[in-house]
Chains A and B, each alone.
Chain A
Amino acid sequence: MAKMKVEEQRKQRTKMSGALMLIEALKAEKVEVIFGYPGGAVLPIYDKLYDSGLFHVLTRHEQGAIHAAEGYARISGKPGVVIATSGPGATNIVTGLTDAMMDSIPLVVFTGQVASNVIGSDAFQEADVLGITMPITKHSYQVRDIQELPRIIKEAFHIATTGRPGPVLIDIPKDMTTAEGEFDYEQDVHLPGYQPTVHPNHLQIRKLVEAVSQAKKPVILAGAGVLHANASKELRQYAEQQNIPVIHTLLGLGGFPANHPLFLGMAGMHGTYTANMALYECDLLINIGARFDDRVTGNLKYFAPNATVAHIDIDPAEIGKNVPTKIPIVSDAKEALKELIHQDGKRPDITAWLAQLAEWKTNYPLAYENDVQTVKPQKLIEMIYELTNGEAVVTTDVGQHQMWTAQYYKFNRPHRWVTSGGLGTMGFGLPAAIGAQLADKQATVVSIVGDAGFQMTLQELSVIQELNLPIKVVIVNNQSLGMVRQWQEIFYDKRYSHSLVPNQPDFVKLAEAYNIKAFRAKTEEEAKEVLKQAFSLSEPVLLDFHVKADENVYPMVAPGKGLHEMVGVKPCEESLQ
């Protein structure tokens, strides 16, 4: 009987086109914003979008759309949604897909495809998008039967947002957008091959509790997994309960308050001396949601050489991938931390360890030589930190300015920090700020970019102006590809092959061409002045800070070196010598 009823209900369901199904599915998923760019293969979708009531942002390049979606996802915690047309539209999103894959960002990306009957004929604007994107997506689909579309979209949102998040792509041949089928979105997701482990194994948790109670020099290395799991509160509670110091990866920043006495700073290539030495000296390393990236570990031969390693990760493949692990815990970070807090094991006796850490902190802080005659990039970041009370959403591009921001902007709250970690994508910062601002409309959003990276996606200024997003674009203008120049100075005997760009455009005039207010500053005094002005305005502002070209990011672990082999730890003293 009941079955009959369901069948009847199904029959009553009106048929609709694939394009309309897509719109309805996005509504059912409560999608707030779509980032996209139209083209022939997706015109049926755009036609249905026209009066759908959904909010669509036309970026000026598909790369802008996908980075904006990433920024949105990183701040809102919800999946970013992207639409791109077939062929060139789709190939333009390849960088963003890889970026999202590397940093575990949930995205659902729709690409148009040529009609089913001409797939494989090298038709106009055809690209093997599925083939191109398979290794850079968490999963991907090509719609071959209109009746499968609702299930596919439902699965895509499920896969993108659960387990270890990531980008999912749906390639839709044009005829599938016009073909009609029944829309049934109230179905369960049935994916027997995809069952992420969310709860930790009790035995393993007990092992960790035991190891903590015995430890003399324990340390927690927390990555973005903590943020994905919304586990900042639990991380803090656990660290305080057990009195264990915390180190963050680049992407983890904000998961633990930077001003907390147990915080040791960021680890890795441009991490703090204290964090890196702690990783070298520790006897118990608890990794929570970090993947032991080589930028964090330095030379693996010298990484935590005396430590028992425990690793909590929702992705079992990360455990043991780079670093041998004694206590593997496959779990969502929040669930594992909750369990650990609940166990309330014996606090380790680590007075000597804490004293050692405190000494490092006092004697080897992040430092730079000030010079008010110029704009010191480090000082610039500190000024922005103070002006925004450490509350701003900060997005960056990739390079020196990114590392200075990570070092000198103290993130005390989660989900305020948006940067491209795994892929290190220049051109990321500006579009990501658009997504971040749309995810948190009240937030002060600052996009800190290099003069080079900015020019990779600067066309998105158009979107900022059009939507009047009050983003403050801060260009750290060193008239060079700063980080490349730094490496050439240190490792290539100052042979500056194609890294100096003394003839950058006039960024202030450029902003004016986009109808965006802009200021320039060349000294600390001017910098202070224009920052104050910019942050008092509730409209977009571009700021062009001329900094010295030869400033370097320190301290630093050179590639191939161990974390204990940092150089430039005391830049003031060393430069005086």
Chain B
Amino acid sequence: MPAAASEMLVGASSDFLTRFSPFNRMEPEALAFLAERSTLAFHARGSEILTPEMGQPTHFHIVQRGKVQARQLGPASVTDYAAMTLGPGECFPIGAISAQRPSTNAYVAVEDSFVYQLPAEDFLKLMQMSPVFHVFCTQYIASLLNQSRQQLQSTFAQRAAEQQTMTTPLGQLVKKEPIFVGPDNTIRAALEKMSEMRIGCMVVADAERKPIGILTQSDLLPRVVLPGIDLQRPICDVMTATPHVMSASDSAYDAALEMATHGVRHLLVVDSEGRLKGVVSERDLFTLQRIGLRQIRSSIEGADDLEALQRASRDIRQLALNLIAQGIGAEQLTQFISALNDALTCRIIDLARTRHELYGIDYAWLAFGSEGRHEQTLSSDQDNGIIYVCPEGADRDALKNRLLACAKEVNENLAACGFPLCKGNIMASNPELCLTLEEWKGRFGDWIREPDPQALLNATIFFDYRVLCGNERLGDQLRAWLNRTAKAYSNFLRLMASNALQVAPPLGRIRDFVVEEDGTIDLKKSGARLFVDVARILALRADVASSSTVQRLRQAGTRMGMPAEEIAALIDGFHFIQLLRLRSQHLDTEHDAPGDNRINPDALNELDRRILKEAFRQARKLQLRLKLDYQL
């Protein structure tokens, strides 16, 4: 009767486990599985149970008796605690074993301890088997996410606090080393330097670095160009002597007042000994002002020229920084950015329409790609198009030409407001992308019926469309038709799926992350896009009308019977990657470098690294689902 004995011992283990959460809430089969597969081990006081050097953990541990201390290793603080003591019923390591990577903590028995051990593969099975246990583990991950957000919040709040108040001393505002020339330098040399450094003014300082003059761009026309001055003459002949100088301890407010009073755009900042410390421009002060959502909104709506729109566009970027500072999540943040960008685009279109006679034309302005998905980051370029209706008997070419002319102006104005023109010419002013509803159906239908690589690529951009302004019903009609058609061609979806699986999450077997040659990971190509591509396919299959990745995952996942926690974990993973993208773009744009999607995982703090890994693991899970569904 050997079965009887093991039943009794399994019973002893499960009796023990049911004293603790989450095991007391666990499904009976799952609990039995856990108790059956667990073995008991003993760790003498002072011995190491698990350390990062031991590599990927082979077992999940549950303390039966005694005390185990989890100690963080390395300089970066991962969580609120530096060391935490685990007692009976507590388990470790959850993050490491679910992500299948070495633990970041060292676990040491601080008392003689008995510890249950569950083999790693059984742990993963248990996660699948038990929704309760799954939630327990994902909540643990979620609590890490939350901590990360708080950390982020405090970092940015500090930055924002430094940057936003008008009481900031000017000494803190000037961060760049001042650029200046001596009074005997030639005008030519000074101008060359201005051009090379792309600066709007040149300071002239003496040998002791004390400013004695300034030459700004607006001085060039009246003083240099029109009089035809010999550029070999010294700069002191044309500079403004006795420039406006302020002390480094003066506040931004003092500077603004000085500028307003004297009508100047640049102020020289000097230290206590009168030596040049830097230059403050009107623009520097502008970014200090607190910019609210409502103000931007109303300034967009009230804008009636390009300049006002450009200002609004800069405000949107500043607002994004403020919002991150307030600890807002990636989802809300992208929604705000997207809502404001929409308003801006609509205003640009409105203004253009007054110059192009479009009265009576039924059309819709479409946004494609990331803008179509409401996932615009700060450095997205334009992707747009038009659907229109050509009434019977109308002159189609004339009508289309009118739309195109208007679209061209819109595209250019968008570019002027910080949305770069699309290099691939995916813009409404492209005649290929200004089509009637029937033409769009024909175009989409061709891609679905003959899904060659180019057609599949097109599908990934164009199927993520939404109506940004104009007649929304046109977009709805196209969506309904598209979902119906794509679903009917299962081969198309299968090829889309195989395409979506081309890029794997950058998780390594040995190292944490698989990085590119320069040590970075492209968070767009190897991160966000993995979610986006699968979500699109799920949406087509489950007939989801939304173009947003999060909505697609939520709605399609629910329709396909995915557990809510699983969907939530996927969405968290996607948001975290988006948040990292926004953050790196923001930091980059502040330094005037072009925003991109690359991050160096080594530059992240330990917590973010852990969560990023979990996010990639979620992407892998999503891909796996697709792989199974399509037998790829």
Q: Do A and B bind each other?
A: no
